[in-house]
Amino acid sequence: MKKVVIGMSGGVDSSVAAIILKNQGYDVIGLFMRNWDSSINNDILGNPDLNNDICPQEQDYNDALEVCKKIGIPLHRVDFVKEYWDYVFTYFLDELKKGRTPNPDIMCNKYIKFDMFVKKALELGADYIATGHYARIKDHKLLRGIDNNKDQTYFLSQLSKKQLSNVLFPVGDLEKSEVRKIALENDLITAKKKDSTGICFIGERNFTNFLKNYLPNQPGKIVNIETNEVIGDHIGLMYYTIGQRKGLNIGGSTDKIFVVGKNIKENILYVAYSSNNEYLISTECIVDTINWISDTKPTKCTAKFRYRQKDVDVELEYLTDGNIKVKYDGVKSVTPGQACVFYLGEECLGGGIINEVRKNGKKLWYL
């Protein structure tokens, strides 16, 4: 009997994935990862639930433990707090300092869930590892999950072919509604549990309150890019991303405005009014930190510049420095620091990190 070690998050997806694996005849072992030290950080993160008897991370563990007991598999617990800080959280802070919009979940998959986790799983005698990601593997190719609204290949785009070689994605062939149904049929505590959203170590906390404990605020001016007029003050460039409309707190204006750029050197946040969104449009970007999962390296394919975005037709120009120039018809809010992920039909080919954004060859005011 083949042994599978599955990452149990305390959510419904990994819970149902464990049931599926057990029903398929695998010897299933659960493994819960502790990646953030809530006992140390809760007090400084502005957590509104400090008076609760148990923090959300411990509740997730308890839920995972109850699910494992219910379906009759063991649950182990492993501590990756230091590794998460070194490889994911430090990266997150460094990117913010540069004025970029990072995606730490992608790095968590690369360095924690499909690296440190795998090493621990091998210690437990695993033949395979499994997670509750909505993705599929077929003929050594990474394919989108059946549920287009939940497909998570975007977050797996920095994994290597080797990292994916012994991975199972049991819920990748299911719609989310089917996953919920299976959980209800098996009377799991996670059946109606709300999906986690946002960055895992922030959770439901206020993003601004969270960050100011790690990076000092550097307030500056908000400038209308169309008139070069100062129209307000920002609380720090790291709190804003391209295309953002909410939280700008510009008094005296009833028109909707949005962020179109940042000038790190002069600490200026550029905005424009909603009547003119041309400032958000770009036609090409430079992508670095390239990772290929597929052996196919096309000159034409589709891409996503952020999670849940519809596929965009792109042309790829392979540069001599190893980076890729990605060309496309006008697309809004392509943002440095975010992942650019390449697809051919259902296959996720790999991707990289957006480094520079241009419009008709001219670099935009994005950094």
Phi, psi for 182 (deg, rounded to 5): -65, -40
User: What percentage of the chain carries pLDDT values higher than 70?
Assistant: 90
Q: pTM, whole model, 2 decimals?
A: 0.92
Q: Is the dihedral of CA 266, 325, 161, 152 positive or negative?
A: positive
Angle, alpha carbons 309-197-135 (nearest 5°):
55
Three-class secondary structure of residue 151 per DSSP? coil
Q: Please report the pLDDT score of residue 51 as a whole number.
A: 44
Q: Rounded CA gap, 99 and 214, in Å?
A: 15
Instruction: Judge whether 303 and 343 are in contact, CB under 8 Å.
Output: yes
H or E element, residue 331: strand 324-332
pLDDT band at 209 (very low <50, low <70, confident <90, very high): confident
Q: What is the pLDDT at residue 41?
A: 56
Q: How far from 184 is each of 170, 207, 332, CA to CA, in Å?
A: 17, 33, 40
What is the phi/psi pair of residue 311, to 5°? -60, 140
pLDDT(91) > 90: yes
pLDDT tens-digit map of 95-110:
999 999 999 999 999 9
Positions annotated as catalytic residues are 108, 200
Predicted confidence (pLDDT) per residue in 121-176, tens digit: 999 999 999 999 999 999 999 999 999 999 999 999 999 999 999 999 999 999 99
Q: Which residues pair with 34 in a beta bridge?
A: 79
CB 348 within 8 A of CB 142: yes
CA angle 194, 208, 309 (to 5 degrees): 55
Q: Are the C-beta atoms of residues 11 and 195 closer than 8 Å to each other?
A: yes
Q: How would residue 204 be classed by pLDDT, with cut points 50, 70 and 90?
A: low
In this predicted structure, the answer to whether residue 198 has a pLDDT above a threshold of 80 is no
Query: Can you read off the two tokens belonging to residue 18?
Result: 């464990």
Using the Cα atoms of residue 315, residue 320, residue 322 and residue 323 in order, give the sign of their dihedral: negative
What pLDDT sits at residue 131? 98
Asked whether 305 and 336 are in contact (CB, 8 A), the reply is no
Ranked by mean pLDDT, which of 45-59, 194-208, 295-309 comes out on top? 295-309
> Which residues is 141 bridged to in the sheet?
138
**What is the per-residue DSSP string for 25-64?**
T-EEEEEEEE-S-HHHHGGGTT-TTTTSSS-HHHHHHHHH
Residue 127 has a pLDDT of 98
Superfamily of domain 217-275: Adenine nucleotide alpha hydrolases-like domains (2.30.30.280)
Q: Class of 281-363 per CATH? A: mainly beta
CB distance 285 to 315 below 8 Å: no
What confidence score (pLDDT) does residue 197 get?
65
- How many whole angstroms from its chain centre is CA 3? 29
Residue 79's pLDDT band (cuts 50, 70, 90): very high
Whole-number pLDDT of residue 44: 45
Q: Tell me which of 22-31, 201-210, 268-277, 331-340 is least confident.
A: 201-210
**Helix/strand/coil for 157:** coil
Instruction: Encode pLDDT of 17-74 as tens digits.
Output: 999 999 999 999 999 999 887 665 544 444 444 444 556 778 899 999 999 999 999 9
The answer to whether 312 and 331 have CB atoms below 8 angstroms apart is: yes
pLDDT digits (tens, 9 = 90+) for 220-268: 999 999 899 999 999 999 999 999 988 887 766 656 889 999 999 999 9
Q: Which helix (H) or strand (E) holds 231?
A: strand 229-234
Place of tokens 């309150």: 209
Q: Which of the four pLDDT bands, split at 50, 70 and 90, describes residue 196?
A: confident
Query: What is the percent of the chain with per-residue pLDDT over 90, rounded to a whole number?
Result: 77
Which position has the higher pLDDT, 366 or 26?
26
| Mean pLDDT value across residues 73-93 | 95
- Overall CATH class of domain 3-185: alpha beta
For the chain, domain boundaries: 3-185, 217-275, 281-363
pLDDT for the residue 367: 63
Helix (H) or strand (E) holding 224: strand 220-224
Higher pLDDT, 64 or 276: 64
| Sign for the pseudo-dihedral over CA of 157, 161, 163, 167 | positive
